[in-house]
Amino acid sequence: MAHKNRASSQNEPSQRQRRVGEQLRHIIADTLRRGHFHNEMLLNRSGDITVTEVRTSPDLKHARAYVMSLGGENMEEILPALNDEAGVFQKDIGRQSGLKFTPRVKFVTDESFAEASKIETLLRGLHIPDDNDEEEEEEAS
């Protein structure tokens, strides 16, 4: 039987972590869609929130849910509200996931879209000469 190289796989989630993370993402998104919250702001804005990814700890007892609001606005208000309502999400996860332990969920802002936008802006600012530029330089000489 082949053994996994533990050194290279320590930071990578296992197949089970990925599968459970995806299951939790669906449950959290469904809970947001239904919108049964005590927080007034979440009641009005839950349709504008996207759960982009959920990562679980190796023991599946903790989950980090990456979220983004439509247009990336009001995250400084949305994030605390989501974390205050974590019990609502955990109750649904406990009912629907079939896991032995219900993971404790923490909501964090997904920065990947902002990072991608920064990279795209940097790339647009670069001037990469193409074949036409070389031909124009030769003709000018």
Give the CB-side neighbour count of residue 51, counting CA atoms within 13 A.
Answer: 25
Provide the residue ranges of all domains of the chain, joining segments of one domain with +. Answer: 11-110
- Enumerate residues 6+ apart whose C-beta is below 8 A from 102: 90, 93, 94
Angle between the 86-96 and 15-34 helix axes, to the nearest 10 degrees? Answer: 120
Mean per-residue pLDDT, 68-80: 86
With tokens 């995806």, the residue in question is 22
pLDDT for the residue numbered 140: 58
pLDDT (tens digit per residue) in 6-64: 444 567 889 999 999 999 999 999 999 998 888 888 887 878 899 999 999 999 999 99
Q: Does the pLDDT value for residue 101 go beyond 60?
A: yes
Beta bridge partner(s), residue 106: 64
What CATH class is the domain 11-110?
Answer: alpha beta
> Does the structure show a pLDDT above 80 at 141?
no
- Specify the pLDDT at position 3: 46
Position with higher pLDDT, 110 vs 108:
108
pLDDT at 1 over 60: no
pLDDT in tens, 118-131: 777 777 777 777 76
